[in-house]
Structure 1
Amino acid sequence: MNELAEIISRNEDKLRTEWIRDMGSSVQRADLISKAELEEQCKALLGAIITGIRSGGPTQLSSAGWSSARELLHEISASRARQGFSPSDVATFVLSLKRPVFVLFRRELATNQDTLFDAIWTATDLLDRLALITSESFMAAREELISRQQQELLELSTPVVKLWDGILALPIIGTLDSARTQVVMENLLQAVVATNSKYAIIDITGVPTVDTLVAQHLLKTITAARLMGAECIISGVRPQIAQTIVHLGINLEDVITKAKLSDAFALALQRSGRKVVREGTAPVSPISGLFAKREE
């Protein structure tokens, strides 16, 4: 095993050059990774492989001697996931080292066929194991990236808008599930505390259907807001949603509902002791403040 490490070490520069040359275009994506970065990763991985063979042997990849190689593959896989490589491209990065290694062993061990066969078989098994580590690390990194992006999309898809002093609006688009309800609730409660608002309008115009589960999530959000001292008004109740709520027997008696967001906003203004009055002959909208004034 030390002999294999010595062969690779003596020919490291030439091996790295042939390795990069034999890589496919999908691995050498100039639009995703620079040539200098690719060369640096290849150099570091070859060094880690030599260290691993010398200290841990070519089969004990879980040993301490291979810790540097494992950590390096984790870092490379995570960076590939962020850069937009595919799983096959990441695995090919390691597997493309096979041919240069086989050519090197054949040149160095040509006089001993048995040793040559053993060396090639050992190298095949080693690189296959390293490729598996790379693929597993890539998938784990991509799943973490997707999870983080989903969380960010949830937060972006549930904005809390300040319509007026003490009046908030929370437009909901799409279906409510447990995870999204938690985000909605947290965003709303944080906004209630930050703005000291007494009224919150939950607009469900963009919610395709309201079933028992969605209604329960809405009620949880309303209850949490009430505990913080804010009264909730549900707007955007369409005829189909109203019929569904009645057929399902969902109890919304304690919840104020309105068909339009403008109606809910007008009600919130009224309950907060404000009203919108017309100035001259200019048209007025309950939501627009361009042609309106507040009266406390």
Structure 2
Amino acid sequence: MQVSDSERNAEQEPAHYQVSAFLERRREQVAQRWADAALFRTVFTVSRDEAVEAGRSVAAALAAVAASGRTEDIRAPGFESVRDQLSRMAASRARTGIDPDGVAGEVAALRDPVTELLRAEFPDPYAPEAQDSVLALTVLMGTLRLVVMETLVSAGEEVIARQREQLLEVATPVIKLWDGIVAVPLIGTLDSARSQVVMESLLDAIVAERARYAILDITGVPTVDSLVAQHLMKTVAAARLMGAECVVSGIRPAIAQTIVHLGIDLGTVLTRASLADALAYALSRQGVEIAPLRSAGPVADTGVR
């Protein structure tokens, strides 16, 4: 019995090479079928051509990974060319309410159309060499699913980190109280990340407002330990370097006792009991006099009854 060239090549070449050559040869057909799959169809809604082009890119990347023989490696260089695209696709599906399992299922659904095309390459779709190629393709598609899930998780972590930064900025507003006077009313626990945001926001405000006085009000800070005190002193020192005098206000009796018991030296830090006292100090240093409101006198009797 004569052996055809394709069968002879199949016997000589490893299965992953056969898969790579198949994906290169049938890239257009693969892309056309993937364009109708849920993962592509629901992301590229404006034009089917965009879905087809995206399918071509993914097929080309898979061919490169298969050619390298690293079909089980999510870090294979071939995936880098489409990692950003896969991330955007997965994130787009997630924004529509599809959970990670749903996205993984949509990626898994890409395997059947390409497997059907691969089996058609062999005279006997269930011959051993065909089965080896299908197995190699199955492993490759499984790795693709892992890549998509990894990019989805990474994108989610980036979103969470960005939202956390935004919340920190919202939670630490810098308020202009008067010309040349800014204040940061701190509420809640101070940690290293938030303290860094406080310092950056305050220094930016000092420059923007040309402030000569900066007030750190800690009335809303529940506890002060050595780490919090260290952060406050660094912020005070940074403000001084920017040419502003920093005043810490709102030190409650319990916090004052804690600072004394911890042996924390705040001798170089100017303090005031309340935000109002700190503002009054800053205003007086700028030559602004504050006069109490005079109470209204008795209403004259007009004699009208």
TM range (shorter): 0.7 to 0.9
1:73-127 CA deviation, whole Å, 9 max, x = no partner?
3222145337636444443343221223334445564724223312320210111
In structure 2, C-alpha distance between the alignment counterparts of 1:54 and 1:270, rounded to whole Å: 72
Q: Read off the aligned partner of 1:160 and give its amino acid letter.
A: V
Question: Where does the alignment leave 5 or more consecutive residues of structure 2 unmatched?
Answer: 1-17, 297-305
Q: 1:101 aligns with which of 97, 111, 114?
A: 114
**Residue 35 (str. 1) matches residue 53 (str. 2):** no
SS where residue 205 of structure 1 aligns? strand
TM-score (norm 1): 0.75
- d(CA) in 2 for partners of 1:185, 1:200: 11
Whether 1:187 aligns to 2:201 is yes
Aligned-residue offset at 1:130: 1.7
Matched residue type, 2:189? T
> 1:233 pairs with 232, 240, 247, which one?
247
Does residue 12 of the first structure (1) align with residue 40 of the second (2)?
A: no
Report the CA distance between 1:222 and its aligned residue.
0.9
The alignment status of 1:269 with 2:283, answered yes or no, reads yes
> Could you say which residue in structure 2 is the equivalent of 1:166?
180
Q: Which residue of 1 aligns with 2:69?
A: 59
Percent identity over the alignment is 43
Amino acid corresponding to residue 136 of structure 2 in structure 1: T
**Range with bigger deviation, 106-115 or 185-194:** 106-115
- Tell me how far apart the structure 2 counterparts of residues 15 and 55 of structure 1 sit (CA, whole Å): 20
Root-mean-square deviation (Å): 3.5
- CA separation in 2, counterparts of 1:232 and 1:55? 59
Q: How does 1:20-169 map to 2 (within 5 A)?
A: 20=37, 23=38, 33=43, 35-36=45-46, 40-41=50-51, 43-50=53-60, 52-53=62-63, 57=67, 59-60=69-70, 70-78=80-88, 80-81=90-91, 84=95, 86-106=99-119, 109=122, 111-112=124-125, 113-169=127-183
Counterpart of 1:214?
A: 228
TM-score (norm 2): 0.73
Deviation of residue 47 (structure 1)?
A: 5.0
Aligned residue number for residue 242 of structure 1: 256
- Unaligned runs of 5+ residues in structure 1 are 283-296
Cα separation, partners in 2 of 1:121 and 1:185, compared to 1, 3 Å: same
Q: Distance in 2 between matches of 1:51 and 1:268?
A: 64
Give 3-state SS (helix, strand or coil) of 1:35's partner.
coil
Distance apart, 1:245 and its partner CA: 1.5
Distance 1:77 1:220 in 2: 40
1:198 to 200, 204, 212: 212
Amino acid at match of 2:228: V
What amino acid is the match of 1:213? L
Q: Confirm or deny: 8 A CA contact 1:233 1:256 kept in the other structure.
A: yes
Assess if the C-alpha contact under 8 Å between 1:58 and 1:122 holds in 2.
no
1:293 matched to which residue of 2?
none
Q: 1:57 to 1:265 in 2, by over 3 A?
A: same
Kept in 2, the 8 Å contact 1:181–1:217? The answer is yes
* Maintained 8 Å contact 1:215/1:250: yes
- Alpha-carbon distance, 1:34 to partner: 5.4
For the residues of structure 1 that align with 2:165 and 2:178, how far apart are their CA atoms?
A: 28
State the distance in 2 between where 1:192 and 1:54 align.
54
How far did 1:186 drift? Answer: 2.4
CA distance in 1, matches of 2:280, 2:56: 70
> Could you tell me how far apart the structure 1 residues matched to 2:169 and 2:201 are?
8
Compare 267-276 and 124-133 and name the one that shifted more.
267-276
Residue of structure 1 in register with 2:10 after alignment: none
Q: Is the 8 A contact 1:160 1:187 kept in 2?
A: yes
Deviation at 1:243, TM superposition (A): 2.3
* Kept after mapping to 2: 8 A contact 1:45/1:69: no
Q: How many residues align?
A: 272
Rg (Cα) greater in structure? 2
Of the structure 1 ranges 245-254 and 67-76, higher mean CA displacement relative to structure 2 is found in 67-76
- AA of the residue aligned to 1:53: A
> In 2, distance between residues paired with 1:144 and 1:230?
35
d(CA) in 1 for partners of 2:141 and 2:169?
42
Q: Residues 225 and 135 from structure 1, CA distance in 2 versus in 1: closer, same or farther, beyond 3 angstroms?
A: same
